[in-house]
């Protein structure tokens, strides 16, 4: 185990970052609301998707950025309302 000090340092740093994130997250919920934190989380995900698409050189239309199109199957029987 020649790199155990490096592994311990990475583990310690990632644990400290996770603890800090949890403290900030709890403070934000306390100051605002859970809905605000959830909306900000979704905005963060969309921002990360757009940033990664730009950095990786992937281009999509704005329709495809929000969702994928799913075709629904044809109905087995149709009912006519009179």
Identify the pLDDT of residue 54.
Answer: 87
Gap between the Cα atoms of 36 and 34, Å rounded: 5
CA angle 35, 30, 13 (to 5 degrees): 100
Angle, nearest 10°, between helix axes 34-56 and 4-31?
A: 130
Identify the pLDDT of residue 58.
Answer: 67
Number of C-beta neighbours around residue 23 at 10 A:
10
For the chain of 82 residues, list the mean pLDDT of each consecutive stretch of 10: 86 97 93 92 93 79 52 55 58
Instruction: Write the CB contacts of 39 (distance below 8 Å, at least 6 apart in sequence).
Output: none
Identify the pLDDT of residue 71.
Answer: 54
Domain boundaries, the chain: 4-58
Its pTM stands at: 0.52
């Amino acid at each position: 185990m020649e790199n155990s000090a490096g592994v311990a340092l990475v583990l310690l740093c990632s644990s400290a970052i996770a603890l800090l994130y949890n403290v900030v997250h709890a403070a934000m919920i306390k100051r605002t609301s859970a809905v605000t934190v959830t909306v900000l989380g979704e905005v963060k995900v969309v921002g990360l998707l757009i940033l990664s698409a730009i950095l990786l050189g992937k281009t999509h239309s704005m329709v495809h950025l929000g969702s994928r199109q799913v075709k629904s199957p044809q109905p087995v029987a149709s009912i006519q309302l009179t």
